[in-house]
Amino acid sequence: MAASAPAPVISVRPRPPQPRRWLVPLLVGMLLMAVGIWRWRVQVAEANAAASGPVQSVLHLDTFVLNLNDPEQRAYLRIGIEIGLHRPPAKADAAPLPVAAVRDALLAVLAARRVQDVLSVEGKEQLKRDLLTAVRGRAPELGAQEIYFTELLVQR
């Protein structure tokens, strides 16, 4: 039997660490996301603080006359509404207020009411809350604070 040649020795060197190219973009992305979330929270806090300040001006709206949503009886509502705003009174050269959008939002809420919703004290308070929510949703730039009823008449 012939002598076999010794097996070659293969040296295994540890591989140098590969740079992690994905780490830097990931960290930058996380940092940008954190800054964005922080900025959003600051804006929300500022908006809430501004909306909870005192009423500085009032937006007068023309009287609404509409049918109430009552299938059992025919009923009409005549209501005067003014909206308390947290911003100072508009100057002559200021941008016009979105009165049409506000009236549309208010009409949508008012037209869905029934007679008993409007006649009770609790119903009027709930109506004010719903109207305020509608105005804030439709025209947040106004900074609506309060809803004031200047007249309220239900005719059956």
Please give the pLDDT value at position 51: 56
Please give the pLDDT value at position 103: 92
Burial class of 135 by CB neighbour count within 10 A (0 to 12, 13 to 18, 19+): buried
Please give the pLDDT value at position 98: 84
Specify the residue for token string 């105005």. Answer: 135
Q: How far apart are CA 140 and CA 98, in angstroms?
A: 10
Please give the pLDDT value at position 49: 59
Helices (H), 1-155: 23-51, 99-111, 115-119, 121-138
Q: How far apart are CA 50 and CA 56, in angstroms?
A: 11
Q: Which two tokens stand for residue 52?
A: 């909870």
Q: Could you report the average pLDDT of every consecutive run of 10 residues in the chain (156 residues)?
A: 68 72 84 90 70 77 88 87 82 74 92 87 92 90 88 89
What are the Cα distances from residue 17, in Å, to 11, 14, 21, 23?
18, 9, 12, 14
Please give the pLDDT value at position 155: 87
Give the CB-side neighbour count of residue 148, counting CA atoms within 13 A: 13
Residues 6 or more apart in contact with residue 126 via CB below 8 angstroms: 117
Q: How far apart are CA 98 and CA 54, in angstroms?
A: 21
Please give the pLDDT value at position 79: 92
Rounded to two decimals, the pTM is 0.63
